[in-house]
Amino acid sequence: MRSGWELIHRHLDEHLDQGVFITDPRLQIIYWNRWLEKHSGHQAAAAVGRNLLEMFPDLASRGKDLYYQKALAGQMVLLAHRFHQYLLQMPPDIANHHLVHMPQSAKIVPLMEEDQVIGTITIIDDVSERVVREEELQSHIKRLKKTEETLRRSEAYYRSLIENTSDIIMVIDEEGMICFTSPSVERVLGYFPGELNYLQVRELIHPEDLPKFNEVLQILIRNPDTIFSVEARFRGQDGSWHTLEAIGKILPGRREKPEVVINCRDITERQQAEKERLRIVKLESLGILAGGIAHDFNNILTGILGNLNLMVMEPSLQDADRVRLNEAEKACLRAQALAQRLLTFARGGAPVKRPTDISKLLKETANLTLCGTNIKCDFFVPEALWLVKVDEGQINQVINNLLINAQQAMPAGGSIAIRAENVVVEEDAELPLPLGKYIPLPKGEYVKIAVADQGEGISPEIGDKIFDPYFTTKPQGSGLGLATAYSIIKNHDGYITMEPNAGQGSVFYIYLPALKDAIPFPEEEAIEPLTGQGRILIMDDEGIVLEVLSEMLKRLGFEVASARDGGEAVEIYQDAQGNGQPFAAVILDLTVPGGLGGKETLDFLKEINPQVKVIVSSGYSDSPIMADYEKYGVQGVISKPYRLPELSKVIHEVITKKQN
Amino acid sequence: MIISSEQKDSLLELINIGFGRAAASLSELTGQRVLLNVPQIVLCPMQEIQDHLKDLMQGKVATVHQMFSGPVAGEAILLLDYGGAVLLSGLLSECRVPVDRLDQSDQEVLTEVGNILLNACLGTFGNLLDIHLSFSLPRMQVETLDPLLESFTIGSDSVRYALLILTTFSLRDSTVHGYLILVLALASLDLLVQSLERLG
């Protein structure tokens, strides 16, 4: 038996890769295998016979002696490394700076003889490799979790950016199928997020914009490192078109099956504002030109009209000649109206605004314009309509233009509806009109006028061009009617827009600032020429104006001295003051090319005589002096061309006016 | 075999004593408060155990299996669903990043926990019956439930019963449910019930 026991010992020593030791019931070691000799440093010869708890006192201090009591009571004991770290203190078998003791898991088994426990068998496993591997794995998992958290935060951050951007982020594949749209698609185009997924992007794009979109997309697919930029109209959920500025590039990392990420910005309003700006710039440049022409034209007309006026007053004139001269005078008046239209372009075809009952103006203009035509006009105007502060002549011209357009749109006859109502525009109000979605009106009270016809209407494509100067669809049209209307309304701080309604007639809308509590300006009385006496100094660079004005003043009973520019006028005025023959009044041309103009001359005259009575005359009605002459110390103004009655009235008013 | 409600109450009380000891051991071992509750026990023939478990546990399970022998012989199994086993191991181990799989050390932890629980429970029975029970080394396995349950019934001619003990581990504000199953031959069960009678 002894040889059998020794044989078992030898086999255990040779083959076991575990530590094994056996104790008797008093925990005296009776077997200590070679693995333990190697790892614990205790030789079997020294260990056998010793008490386990004396040999390893930390077993008791760490409470591990309890497990031997359990084993001696017949229980199987398992000691997991994670709970116990180690059973016997041994140096680690692998180089690892974390390990102080060899990590172990252990089993303590009761050694039974029949039903009696005669000792314990302890089996120790070195779990160093496993523990190090698991620690490395844990460390790896920690890093992964941290990376995962960083990615999650990063993803949440970018998601938040995408969800909150005002632009639409859209991803399409190379065929144009939509793979993703950011939630802002709802705000911009009205579609639910995800509603457009798997749809063809081309279905959203305006047919006219498709060729350029296809072209840039193909270029991008062929040259994946480039970026495309294209403006195209996209259909909104409600069918409206939104101009989007789309900037696209190939989504990185998707080269196998290219996807394009497109950033779409709604530039509809910006574009509308830009069109508005260009329209204004165009009008301004035309206005300068028109103003210059009107000025020269008015000077010429002053000469013609004044002379005609004087000739008509000749008592010796034959009746037949008088008729012809009257016709010529009428032609001059029509030319004056044309010049006035040109001046309206000039920034101040400046309206001379007065509180006006617009309903009366609308009715009078419509009745006059449509008289004798096959067009019926219906008015829908409330009694309590607010007054507006307008230049009656200019607004008359606007309404007249709209009515003529309406009449021409209905060659077979029909009816025009004119509506007016009080409206309050709130801040940043968007008015429900296709072309007027963006209306640059400050908040306030307005009178809204609508002129609707029953014609063919205007196609939406040309709808936004109709206010451009020289744009016309009529073979004989000048393209100035609606441009003039636009300019006039703009100068009144109002807004004009239209609803195309192609096929159902068009509707023009005008907004004019309202005066809630004002009373209408009294109507002008008829003017008769008034004679007078005294000396009057006139200054104008146009010889024909000087000549006819001089003759007209003489006809009214005045003595006249004339000057070609401001310098000469100042000289004459000074001499007259010195000679005791002062002038009762001075009529100054406002604009003298290359010489001293009216405003500068006025300053010199005031130095000579602060009480000087000055009338300013000009072919430009947009000068600040003409609009607000009293502020400049001028007693009166008269716009060229003028007739004798108007001239006499102004002179009479100025001469009889007492100085402040 | 049917046990009366009084016998069932006595059995439950006995199990609670064993579980109390196990909970104390686990608390001492882990340094944190571990509670073990037995809200429910069921005694049924082995053939019916599937009916009780199939709705409660499905798929992969973790078991700690231990044979015991002596005057009363049978098998004891701690049964946890895999997710519960991962969670329990994580709760019992300090400073570890939660993962969704059991590594070797986790399995070792669960084996020691199972061993403590089974020893405490069976030790209490041994004391009651005043008999000595011998135990095999506990064995930890990850397997699917159905083959495990079938292994209890196949190849056994004698009528065997299962004492199904719903076990709840509570620690660190978390709860893990599992089952302790004692599989006993009719004779062993009869002996156990008679002892309970004596207790009553």
The domains located in chain A, with CATH, are 2-126 (3.30.450.20), 165-266 (3.30.450.20), 358-515 (3.30.565.10), 535-656 (3.40.50.2300)
For A76, which of B30, B93, B115 is closest by C-beta distance?
B115
Q: Which residue has the higher pLDDT, A463 or B196?
A: B196
Residue with tokens 């709705």, as numbered in its chain = B55
Query: Which residues from A are below 8 Å from B97, CB to CB?
Result: 138, 141-142, 145
C-alpha distance from residue B195 to each of A120, B42, B129, B134 (Å): 31, 18, 6, 19
Q: What is the pLDDT of residue A21?
A: 94
Selection from A267, A228, A227 nearest residue A245 by Cα: A267
Range with the lowest mean pLDDT among A93-97, A140-144, A639-643?
A: A93-97
Reported confidence tier of residue A310, pLDDT bands at 50, 70, 90:
confident
pLDDT score of B79 more than 60 = yes
The pLDDT tens digits of the residues spanning A148-180 come to 999 999 888 888 888 888 889 999 988 899 998
ipTM of this predicted complex? 0.87
Q: A260 pLDDT exceeds 80?
A: yes
Instruction: Find tokens 């449910």 and name the residue.
Output: B177
B115 contacts A131? CB cut-off 8 A: no
Q: Which residue's entry shows tokens 């005359």?
A: A617
Report whether A354 contacts A388 (CB < 8 A): no
* pLDDT the model gives residue A521: 56
Q: Residue A64: which of A27, A10, A114 has the closest Cα?
A: A27
Q: Which of A34-48, A212-226, A517-531, A558-572 has the lowest mean pLDDT?
A: A517-531
Two structure tokens written together for A612: 């000087």
Q: Is B154 on the interface with A (CB under 8 A)?
A: no
The DSSP-derived string for B54-101 is: TTT--SEEEEEEEEEESSS-EEEEEEEEHHHHHHHHHHHSTT----SS
Q: With an 8 Å Cβ cutoff, is A74 touching chain B? A: yes
DSSP codes of every residue in A134-145: HHHHHHHHHHHH
Q: Tell me what the pLDDT averaged over chain A comes to.
A: 84
Instruction: Supply A439's token pair.
Output: 């209306």
The reply to whether residue B112 touches residue A109, judged by beta carbons under 8 angstroms, is no
pLDDT at A1: 45
- CB contacts of B138 in chain A (<8 Å) are 76, 78
Q: Report yes or no: A379 and A362 within 8 Å, Cβ to Cβ.
A: yes
Backbone angles phi, psi at A65, to 5 degrees: -60, -25
User: Are B112 and A112 in contact (CB < 8 Å)?
Assistant: no
| CB contact A273 to B (< 8 Å) | no
Cross-chain residue pair B99–A141, CB shorter than 8 Å: yes
Instruction: For residues A194 and A183, give the distance between their C-alpha atoms in angstroms, rounded to a whole number.
Output: 8
At residue A28 the predicted structure's pLDDT band, cuts being 50, 70 and 90, is: very high
Binary contact (B119, A76; C-beta < 8 A): yes
Average pLDDT over every residue of A17-30: 94
Nearest to A80 among B96, B109, B135 (CB): B109
In this complex, is the C-beta atom of B96 within 8 Å of any C-beta atom belonging to chain A? yes
pLDDT of residue A435: 47
B111 and A CB contact within 8 Å: yes
The answer to whether residues A462 and A434 touch, using CB atoms and an 8 Å cutoff, is no
**Is the model more confident about A474 or about A140?**
A140
Which of B109, B134, B138 has its CB closest to that of A82?
A: B109
Residues in A closer than 8 angstroms to B93, CB to CB, are 82
Inter-chain CB proximity B115 and A83 less than 8 Å: no
What average pLDDT does range A258-282 have in this prediction?
A: 82
- pLDDT, residue A58, reads 92
Please check whether residue A121 touches B, CB under 8 A.
no
Q: Give tens-digit pLDDT for A83-92.
A: 999 999 998 8
Other beta carbons less than 10 A from residue A568's beta carbon: 17
pLDDT band at A257 (very low <50, low <70, confident <90, very high): confident
Is residue A437 pLDDT above 60, yes or no? no
Indicate if the pLDDT at residue A407 is higher than 50.
yes
For residues B21-29, average pLDDT: 86
User: How many angstroms away from the CA of A4 is the closest CA of chain B?
Assistant: 25
> Three-state SS across A312-334?
HCCCCCCHHHHHHHHHHHHHHHH
- Whether residues A138 and B136 touch (CB distance < 8 A) is answered with no
Q: Report chain A's C-alpha Rg in angstroms.
A: 51
Distance from CA of A224 to the nearest CA of B (A): 42
pLDDT tens profile B49-68: 878 887 777 788 999 999 88
User: B140 to chain A: nearest residue by CA?
Assistant: A78
Domain boundaries, chain B: 5-199
User: What's the pLDDT band for A418 if we cut at 50, 70, 90?
Assistant: very high
Say yes or no for a CB contact (<8 Å) between B105 and A137.
no
**Per CATH, domain B5-199 is 1.10.630.10:** no
Calpha distance A334→A493 (Å, rounded): 28
CB–CB contact A80 B108 (8 Å): yes
Taking CA atoms, A109 is separated from A52, A62, A187, B181, in Å, by 15, 20, 74, 23
Report yes or no: A80 at the B interface, CB cutoff 8 Å.
yes
Q: Given a cut of 90, is residue A311 above it in pLDDT? A: no
Task: Find out whether A114 and A25 touch, Cβ atoms under 8 Å.
Answer: no
3-state class (DSSP) for residue A227:
strand
Strand pairing class (A168-173; A259-266): antiparallel
Distance in Å, alpha carbon of B199 to nearest chain A alpha carbon: 24
Tokens read off for A622: 């947009």
User: Of residues A500 and B130, which shows the higher confidence score?
Assistant: B130
CB contact under 8 A, B105 and A130: yes
A130 touches chain B (CB under 8 A): yes
B27 touches chain A (CB under 8 A): no
Q: Which chain B residues have a beta carbon less than 8 Å from that of A82?
A: 93, 105, 108-109
pLDDT class of B158 with cuts at 50, 70, 90: low
Residues B97, A138: C-beta atoms closer than 8 Å: yes
Label residue A434 by pLDDT band (50, 70, 90).
very low
CA distance B28 to chain A (A): 10
Q: Which residues of B touch A137 (CB under 8 A)?
A: 103
Give the model confidence (pLDDT) of A499-532 as tens digits: 777 567 888 889 999 987 766 655 555 456 777 7
Residue of B nearest to A117 (CA): B134
Q: Which two tokens stand for residue A497?
A: 């827009």
How does pLDDT run across A349-385, given as a tens digit for each residue? 567 677 888 888 888 888 877 877 888 889 998 888 8
The answer for B 56-75 residues in CB contact with A (under 8 A) is 66
Per the CB < 8 Å rule, is A112 touching B99? no
Across A346-360, A493-507, A550-564, A640-654, which has the greatest mean pLDDT?
A: A550-564
- CB A552 within 8 Å of CB A647: yes
Of A74, A78, A137, Cβ closest to residue B138: A78
B105 and A138 within 8 Å at the Cβ level: the answer is no
The minimal CB distance from B109 to the residues A83, A112, A115 is found for A83
Contact state of B105 with A75 under an 8 Å Cβ cutoff: no
Cβ-contact A539, A522 below 8 angstroms? no
Determine the residue of chain A that is closest to B103 in CA distance.
A134
What residues of chain A lie within 8 A of the CB of B69, using their CB?
none
Give tens-digit pLDDT for B161-173: 888 888 888 888 8
Find the residue in B nearest to A70 (Cα).
B119
Position A478 scores a pLDDT of 52
State the nearest Cα–Cα gap between A78 and chain B, in angstroms: 5
Closest chain B C-alpha to A272 CA, distance in angstroms: 59
Q: Which of B68, B104, B116, B117 to mutate to test the interface with A (most CBs of A within 10 A)?
A: B104
Q: A336 near A641, Cβ under 8 Å? A: yes
Output A257 or A605, whichever has higher pLDDT.
Answer: A605
